[in-house]
Structure formats: structure tokens, C-alpha cells
Structure 1
């Protein structure tokens, strides 16, 4: 793939995309690009007021629906309102927060980034006709999934270790979902992506001095959100993308550039760990996938 951009997205008229976290950052950029290509875009947002502003700028082919990934009841209610979706884009996320918990008692980063999207995908998978795209991060490299203490109730909490765990969990989930879809005979694909180092508001919620440091990084080192969203958009729209593919930027250390196929670390391909995480995620969320 050679310097693919959003201008290369095929006509998406007649197709429906659900994009989580579409009220800002990479999700907003992706929703705008998909809408411009003619898709019907469902902006799944916790902040619906911001979502409505984005939807109005896209046009009549965009709508906003309330979704709080830190609340299993909200996820269930959202999914019940969706009839059919071609592509589910699991984009929303939080990063490096102080220790806090979701409505259901999960550590906020694993609860939002992984368990929330796990539950959403489980509720919607029978309604998905094409693919599920899950956003990970290059920082999955620092992660380690602890199945005995996924929610940081015994370990000393580390905000960055918790973020790395959640992003590694995203990849374990994406790959395991593809294995289970394949085993069930489904034609639906599971694909993953990461944005490299992209300038978004994700880096502004650590509630610490790190916010100021990352603001400088966003200004002088990061690529734009428009560039950061390209691997996600490629994963979501290009017909030839195979299930189980991971896409990221093609530049130095995958920090910036145009989308291409990238690799992930050995931990992300641990089949036993992925199966264990799947089982644990079902237990925590109470969501069973139909092919299980």
C-alpha cells in the first residue's frame, strides 16, 4: 500500500458504521471521513452534546447515540437499539488515568478499553455483516495481562502498566475473535489497528504533570489526528484486508506515516492467555458470544 489516505476510501453509500468515541480525536476524524465517503455513521458517544456537533458537520447520514463503555447497562441499551451494522469500530479509550472504577467495579482502563468493547461486540456480533475493527496501541508492548488481578485489586496500581494491559488485551481480543469467527464458519472479520503517535485529547486526562509534558509532545513530535486515523480507516474500509490483520503507520518505529501491515509482540499471540482473557471477560461482563 502506497501512501493511502482518506481520499482513497471507496464509496461507502449503503453501509453503516458504528464508531465508538466519535465525538473527539481519532473517532471524530474517522466518522467525518466515513461520512464524507457516503456511509451512514452512528456516533456512539458518552458526551452526546459534543457528538451532535460532529454529526451536524457531517450531515444527514450521521446520527448520535448514547454509549458509556464504563457502564454495562448503557452498553446493553445501546446495542438493543442497533438493527444492523456493516462495520463496528471499537475506537474509544482512556489513557493513564489515576485509579478509578467503572459503574460495574472494573478498573477504568481495562473496563473501558477492553471489557466495554468486549461486551459491545458480544451484543452486536450477530448484527455485524462485514468486520469488527479494534483500536490498540504501540504501548501494548509495555503491557502484561494478569488474569488473576485484571482489575488491580491486589497489585499496586500503575497507570501506565494498566494502560499497557488494556491495549495488549485489545490485541488478544481481536486475534481471539478472529479465531472464533473462523471456527464458527463466519465470514465476519476481526481486524486491529494503532495510530502511532497522534495528537489527540487522549493525552490530556492523566490529571498530573504528565498532561503538560504530553501536550508538548503533541505539538512538536506527534503526527496529526488525521494521519493517526488512517490505519483505522484502512482497516475498516479496504475490502482486501484479511481477518487477523494489524495495521499501523509505516514510518520510523511506527510512530507516524501511512497505513501498512505491522506486527505485534509475542504476548499478543499467546493463544492460551487469549482464551483465558476471553473466559474471564465473559464472566465479568455476563456477555456470551453466540458461537461460544
Structure 2
């Protein structure tokens, strides 16, 4: 199903609605914040780099506020969650990509720790305050990921930065789908939906310190992909339109285009895989969900 011609100016009136967007200090997140506030919403820009966040917020105006959140530090996640009032929509957007091996404050592999475990903990802590939906950003990289629930932190495997990134984005997909199931079974009115940006020209795609960076730059120069504002459209559609719980949205031409229903790996619907990842995530983060 393709939403032909759907663009940010078709976002329904968002007056009175409140959003929390992680990593909205640049790229896709900043584009989402700008589009949502233009439609009348109030947005909390939740991120680690407060200087960049303040610049984005000042360009938007009084409908945007900044709050510190470091997804690579569970104490920061807990502090942020404690300070947030009730709101409507959480957009789990922040992420790191193809980093050299590093660990978070809590000892998690940095990509899994930031992209999945940090958002898992944040969502669990905020869920009682969320009125309408959770939008989790996955990626085309989920297509090469695997869920190693017994080794999420690369303690038994030889580290590969691109495999680690794919694993973390498949984990986002598995988490979002399982959360939708649990919300439905608990009778909650909250929805869990997912999106991916296709190939969007953001700085995230040119920081791997590998030859792939040159391919990314070439792709941007040849306009293979799309702008951050265009890449944000599937998530904006998922966040503002009446979409089904558990649905997944991306560009209609896969790497670019208007929002459309997207395909995902069958692993995301494998219940034993879901269960193993959920249990491992709860154990590592110490966060349990009320659903």
C-alpha cells in the first residue's frame, strides 16, 4: 500500500499533541521535529549533544524543548524518563552506525546498546506515560542482521561493525513487533509501529571509517537516495496517520519515495526469537514492561 504523494504538508493537525523524539538534534530526527511542530505539535528533542539540540530548537521556536538523554548510559535513560510528563507519541529515532568496537557506560556493545537496549529501556520506563503510540526506527540493514540473544554484546564473536549494525536494526524490528503483540494482548490502546528511511543523506551514513563511506558519499552525489526531510516521511506517516498496530513503513521504491507498507524479515515474527531477545533485553537493562 503506497501513500502516493504523501508529504509533510499533509500531516494532520497536531495541535495539542506532544512528542518525544530521540536523536532529534540532526538528520532525520531534526526533520521530524520541524515537520511535527509546523503541524502544531509540541516536541521534546531528547539527545546527548545539547548544543546541536539547542540550535535545532531555537530554529523551530517555542514548540520545541530540549532534554538530555544519553542512550548509551542507563542512568541517563532513567533520569530522563523520571523527568518526562505524560505525552502522546515516542519516536525511537536515535542511532549509531558501523562504529569501531566500543562499549556503553553499562558495558553493552555500543551499537546494540544505543540502537536497541537504550531504546528498549527508555520505552519500558516511559510506557505508562505514553498516550497513543511508539514509533521505532529500523533500517534496511535489518535484512542482514541476526539475533544472537545469548551474545548481544559481542563477547563470544569476532566483532564486525556492519554485522553489529545489522543485528541492532533487526533487534529494533523484533522489539517493535513484539511490543505491538503485547500491547494488543494486554488490551492497551497504545500502538507500536515501525519505519525505515530508505537511503537518506544523513551524516550517520558517512562515519564508519571504512571504504563504504566513499560509496555513501558517491550515492549522495548521484542522488541515489533522498534528503533527510524525505527520509523522515515514513516515520512521520507512522506517527501521525491511522496506521495498524505492528505495521512497518518505508519509501515505496525501497531506498526513496513516498511512505508505503514495507517488507521485513520473517525473523521478526518468529516467537521464540522474540521471546529470547525480550528476556535478554530485560536481563541486561533491568527494565520490565507493564504489558
Same fold (TM over 0.5): yes
Which residue of structure 2 lines up, in the alignment, with residue 110 of structure 1? Answer: 112
Instruction: Return the offset for 1:209.
Output: 3.6
Structure 1 CA distance for aligned equivalents of residues 151 and 165 of structure 2:
14
TM-score by length of 2: 0.97
Which residue of structure 2 lines up, in the alignment, with residue 275 of structure 1? Answer: 275
Instruction: Write the mapping of 1:123-272 to structure 2, written as runs, cut at 5 A.
Output: 123-220=125-222, 221-238=224-241, 240-251=242-253, 254-272=254-272
- 1:72-98 alpha-carbon deviations (Å, 9 max, x no partner): 000000011101110000000011111
**Are residues 1:71 and 2:69 paired?**
no
Instruction: Return the offset for 1:261.
Output: 0.8
Q: Which runs of 4+ in 1 moved over 2 A?
A: 207-213
Instruction: Return the offset for 1:204.
Output: 2.3
Structure 1 CA distance for aligned equivalents of residues 118 and 87 of structure 2:
18
Q: Secondary structure at the match of 1:129?
A: strand
> How many correspondences in the alignment?
288
Structure 1 CA distance for aligned equivalents of residues 114 and 207 of structure 2:
14
Instruction: Return the offset for 1:208.
Output: 3.1
- 1:218-273 alpha-carbon deviations (Å, 9 max, x no partner): 222221111110000000011x201000000001xx01100011121111211110
- Of 88, 91, 110, the residue aligned with 2:90 is 88
Which residue of structure 2 lines up, in the alignment, with residue 15 of structure 1? Answer: 17
Instruction: Return the offset for 1:150.
Output: 0.9
Answer yes or no: is the 8 Å Cα contact 1:200–1:218 preserved in 2.
Answer: no
Structure 1 CA distance for aligned equivalents of residues 89 and 164 of structure 2:
28
Answer yes or no: is the 8 Å Cα contact 2:139–2:197 preserved in 1.
Answer: yes
Moved more, 204-213 or 59-68: 204-213
Answer yes or no: is the 8 Å Cα contact 2:200–2:231 preserved in 1.
Answer: yes
Change (3 A) 1:213 1:263: closer
Structure 2 CA distance for aligned equivalents of residues 71 and 16 of structure 1:
25
Structure 2 CA distance for aligned equivalents of residues 162 and 137 of structure 1:
13
Answer yes or no: is the 8 Å Cα contact 2:150–2:280 preserved in 1.
Answer: no
TM-score by length of 1: 0.97
Structure 2 CA distance for aligned equivalents of residues 65 and 159 of structure 1:
29
Q: Secondary structure at the match of 2:243?
A: coil
**Are residues 1:50 and 2:52 paired?**
yes
Structure 1: state its 5+ residue gaps. none
Instruction: Return the offset for 1:59.
Output: 0.7
